[in-house]
């Protein structure tokens, strides 16, 4: 039996993840996208991975600069997740009306998130449709308290408790 993209999509609906926004900058050009393919892989050295779809504006900026930011969203930020997932009109500025800040790299980070990380790419693994980036975390800032936004079975959820 050959595994299809639809089969994988259906299977992965059962994997619960957090939600983050990856941001990038090249000079005055900024962009960001929602991801749930963000993972910590090492504490010493501090390494994370993120997978970005090939040909997206964010992936192009990360490829050119070798740096990106990650903002982990809180459980009240489904609207921001949707905005950076492209569920807004084409060409609309995804950062409009959002307060941002910068750490070491100059990449815009979302002040409204729970925590933000500055990351420098140390390895890249391109596939036909995406690139997996392994990056060293160079700076971290906690911006808010609260619970993370959680994604499961194509819906946003809050942690119980």
Task: Report in angstroms the alpha-carbon separations of 151 from 82, 89, 102.
Answer: 12, 23, 27
pLDDT at 12: 87
- Give the DSSP per-residue string, 48-69: EEEEEETT-HHHHHHHHHSEEE
pLDDT at 86: 82
CB 110 within 8 A of CB 141: no
On the question of pLDDT at 160 being above 80, the answer is no
Locate 86 and state its tokens: 């492209």
Phi/psi for 139 (5° steps) reads -160, 150
Task: For residue 45, say if its preceding peptide bond is cis, omega within 30 degrees of 0.
Answer: yes
pLDDT in tens, 34-58: 998 899 999 999 999 999 999 999 9
Q: Give CATH for domain 5-157.
A: 2.30.110.10
Report the distance separating Cα 160 and Cα 152, nearest Å: 14
Report the distance separating Cα 143 and Cα 49, nearest Å: 21
Neighbours of 19 (CB within 10 A): 25
Split at pLDDT 50, 70, 90, the class of 1 is confident
Mean pLDDT of all residues in 6-18: 89
pLDDT at 91: 66
On the question of pLDDT at 161 being above 80, the answer is no
pLDDT in tens, 94-140: 998 999 999 999 999 999 899 999 999 999 999 999 999 999 999 99
Instruction: Round the average pLDDT of the chain to a whole number and report it.
Output: 92
Locate 145 and state its tokens: 């308290």
On the question of pLDDT at 30 being above 90, the answer is yes
Beta bridge partners of 38: 50
CB 16 within 8 A of CB 29: no
């Amino acid at each position: 039996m050959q595994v299809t993209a639809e089969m994988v999509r259906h299977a992965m609906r059962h994997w619960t993840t957090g939600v983050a926004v990856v941001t990038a900058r090249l000079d005055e050009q900024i962009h960001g996208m929602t991801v749930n393919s963000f993972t910590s892989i090492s504490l010493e050295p501090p390494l994370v991975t993120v997978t970005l779809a090939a040909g997206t504006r964010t992936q192009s900026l990360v490829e050119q600069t070798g740096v990106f930011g990650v903002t982990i969203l809180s459980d009240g930020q489904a609207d921001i997740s949707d905005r950076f997932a492209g569920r807004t009109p084409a060409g609309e500025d995804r950062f409009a009306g959002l307060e941002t800040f910068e750490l070491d790299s100059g990449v815009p980070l979302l002040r409204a998130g729970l925590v933000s990380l500055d990351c420098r790419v140390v390895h890249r693994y391109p596939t036909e449709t995406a690139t997996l980036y392994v990056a060293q975390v160079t700076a971290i800032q906690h911006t808010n308290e609260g619970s993370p936004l959680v994604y499961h079975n194509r819906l946003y959820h809050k942690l119980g408790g």
